[in-house]
Chain A
């Protein structure tokens, strides 16, 4: 990649300065959110909007602890639970989808079934579908089976939500491996299981971790399923955020900004590390380079 860029042309620090300015303009809404996270309630809603102010960390504290106005004691908010829910639900379902998806991807890549492409097409279509299309019957199904509001229900649903993405993305990594190495291993008497675990998996570890991370981001940002199918105990952060919008006391933007900022830190690092895989990740492996 790096070498190929150089073919197009190499620019100096002046160019860096120019792109930084443009990049910063593009980044400005995010920058504003981060600034808001450090503002007091009055500063956040100041007229005209304030660029310079005395920063405060209160918002980050009040994400997790709220001071009672009457007694002055601080109490833990439910937000810690919602953060836990978001991470737990996403973590379990993405892991499950990755395991199941990798097995399927390996089969689609190495042991094509009759109608292989049809299966792959159906799998992709379930992912391309607006969630609202499937959610009506899923809602009825969850209501009948008592899965609504439970961890199991939403985890199962998110696992299904992540399988198409995992299958397609992991398959694109398997497709790139050189099958001759595997055949050579088979000739040497390696079992199929050994070929899979000792030769294929280690070679696509980077791809698998990229898939895992993309899955995490997609899942913990998901809103519609979570809105309709989680209960008080299993609510995720996006739903909790959307709910604060409807409050009668007015929206506490500082608090919301602090939540977004906390969620932003891991995403920022991950995006940085996965930059080269990003295109493949966001197109479900259909575009490699």
Chain B
């Protein structure tokens, strides 16, 4: 069809000109993305300068940068950012440790490896909702298995989600359990790429295990660890479903992450303009993180090739 049309001239020919092939092929994808992502973002950018409320029919008033000023000076917002930082930081750290240990365990060829690996990989493929629902059951003070086990060590009945620290730990454990396999996969990729002769050389030199790890293994997994940290930070930053289901942000607002807070301001209090302003601040953070991530990806690609 392309060749037939190009002989007829007119708009069809202009459109199907080989020079425009690339542009033509990306148009459907970019159009859908524009309609469903970019345009809504522009809309909310506009809204962020007004005092619009989705529930009110009043004509919104222009407020300039007031919403941004409000959001940035609001102590609550800073608290939510802090909560998010604590949850993201501890979850990513835990994922790194557990993922790394799992990778060391699986960095060998052994019989039935593919099947045993499945036991570890499955959590990653579950939905946040099912993980949330069942971790909530595990933490349940009367029926939950966590309380049951912990009660052997404590005199009072152990209630995981009663204290802010416990609730944060509860969320972090559920999230880290889901995503440690992700870090494991990345570290495994690094461990596999270490040439064996380096270890043999180290053995001849009688280098200690510790030393050969830092001088041989670590350089090979360093860039992948950086990728894991950035990718998981971006993803954990989105954390909504697990928090929404396990603690609903409680007790008090101690586990209210920025995503949950945005949901609340936008859909429970319908402060549409204010939440749009905050959403834009989050967008900015994600753009910075994504840039860093791609920088790390390119650096690793340069290293590998």
23 contacts between A and B (CB under 8 A): A1-B192, A5-B108, A8-B194, A16-B116, A20-B119, A22-B105, A23-B116, A30-B126, A47-B143, A49-B148, A108-B26, A124-B294, A133-B44, A134-B40, A134-B41, A136-B275, A139-B267, A156-B32, A221-B129, A242-B244, A267-B126, A279-B185, A279-B188
A263 at interface by CB-CB < 8 Å: yes
Query: B36–A30 contact, CB under 8 A?
Result: no
Query: B196–A33 contact, CB under 8 A?
Result: no
B276 to A, closest residue via Cβ: A136
**Which residues 216-275 of B sit at the A interface, judged by CB distance below 8 A?**
224, 227, 231, 234, 237-238, 240-241, 244-245, 258-259, 262-263, 266-267, 272, 275
Query: B37–A134 contact, CB under 8 A?
Result: yes
B165 at interface by CB-CB < 8 Å: no
Question: Which of A54-62, A65-73, A159-167 sits within the interface?
Answer: A159-167
**Interface code B95-131, partner A: CB below 8 Å = 1, 0 otherwise?**
0000000100111111111111111111111111110
Q: Which of B40, B108, B119, B227 contacts A24 (CB 8 A)?
A: B119
Contact of A242 with B129 at beta-carbon distance under 8 Å, contacts A27-B119, A193-B2 already known: yes
Q: Which of B102, B119, B125, B224 contacts A217 (CB 8 A)?
A: B125
Query: A104–B108 contact, CB under 8 A?
Result: no
B71 at interface by CB-CB < 8 Å: no
B163 at interface by CB-CB < 8 Å: no
**Interface code B23-55, partner A: CB below 8 Å = 1, 0 otherwise?**
111101110110111111101100100000010
Closest 3 CB pairs of A and B: A111-B22, A160-B36, A221-B127
Q: Which residues of B contact A52 (CB under 8 A)?
A: none
What is the size, in residues, of chain A's interface with B at 8 Å between Cβ atoms? Answer: 107
A48 at interface by CB-CB < 8 Å: yes
Query: A132–B259 contact, CB under 8 A?
Result: yes
A99 to B, closest residue via Cβ: B28
Query: B133–A242 contact, CB under 8 A?
Result: yes
A106 at interface by CB-CB < 8 Å: yes
Query: B30–A257 contact, CB under 8 A?
Result: no
Q: Which of A26, A33, A167 contacts B120 (CB 8 A)?
A: A26
Q: Which residues of A contact B215 (CB under 8 A)?
A: none
Q: What distance in Å separates the Cβ of A34 from its nearest Cβ neighbour in chain B?
A: 11
Query: B294–A121 contact, CB under 8 A?
Result: yes
Contact of A163 with B287 at beta-carbon distance under 8 Å, contacts A15-B110, A130-B240 already known: no
Query: A238–B37 contact, CB under 8 A?
Result: no
Query: A275–B133 contact, CB under 8 A?
Result: no
In the bound complex, what is the Cα–Cα distance between A40 and B235 (angstroms)? Answer: 37
Chain A CB count within 10 A is highest, among B21, B26, B108, for B26
Query: B186–A287 contact, CB under 8 A?
Result: yes
In the bound complex, what is the Cα–Cα distance between A167 and B33 (angstroms)? Answer: 12
A157 at interface by CB-CB < 8 Å: yes
B42 to A, closest residue via Cβ: A137
Q: Which of A9, A16, A228 contacts B112 (CB 8 A)?
A: A16
Q: Which of A13, A123, A224 contacts B33 (CB 8 A)?
A: A123
Q: Which residues of B contact A289 (CB under 8 A)?
A: 189, 192-193, 304
Extra contacts besides A136-B279, A283-B231 (20): CB < 8 Å: A5-B109, A6-B109, A8-B107, A16-B113, A26-B119, A100-B29, A107-B23, A123-B33, A133-B41, A133-B279, A137-B39, A159-B32, A161-B36, A163-B33, A164-B33, A217-B125, A238-B127, A238-B129, A242-B133, A267-B122
Query: B286–A130 contact, CB under 8 A?
Result: yes
Chain A CB count within 10 A is highest, among B130, B266, B279, B300, for B130
Q: Which residues of A contact B118 (CB under 8 A)?
A: 268, 271-272, 275
**Interface code B127-145, partner A: CB below 8 Å = 1, 0 otherwise?**
1111011111110001111
Query: A49–B145 contact, CB under 8 A?
Result: yes
A80 at interface by CB-CB < 8 Å: no
In the bound complex, what is the Cα–Cα distance between A224 and B283 (angstroms)? Answer: 17
B177 at interface by CB-CB < 8 Å: yes
In the bound complex, what is the Cα–Cα distance between A161 and B282 (angstroms)? Answer: 18
Contact of A287 with B224 at beta-carbon distance under 8 Å, contacts A10-B110, A30-B122, A113-B22 already known: yes
A261 to B, closest residue via Cβ: B130
Query: A278–B30 contact, CB under 8 A?
Result: no
Query: B143–A278 contact, CB under 8 A?
Result: no
Q: Which of B29, B240, B297 contacts A163 (CB 8 A)?
A: B29
Query: B290–A125 contact, CB under 8 A?
Result: yes
Q: What distance in Å separates the Cβ of B50 from its nearest Cβ neighbour in chain A?
A: 13
Query: A12–B111 contact, CB under 8 A?
Result: yes
Contact of A33 with B262 at beta-carbon distance under 8 Å, contacts A126-B33, A128-B286 already known: no
Query: A13–B111 contact, CB under 8 A?
Result: yes
A180 at interface by CB-CB < 8 Å: no
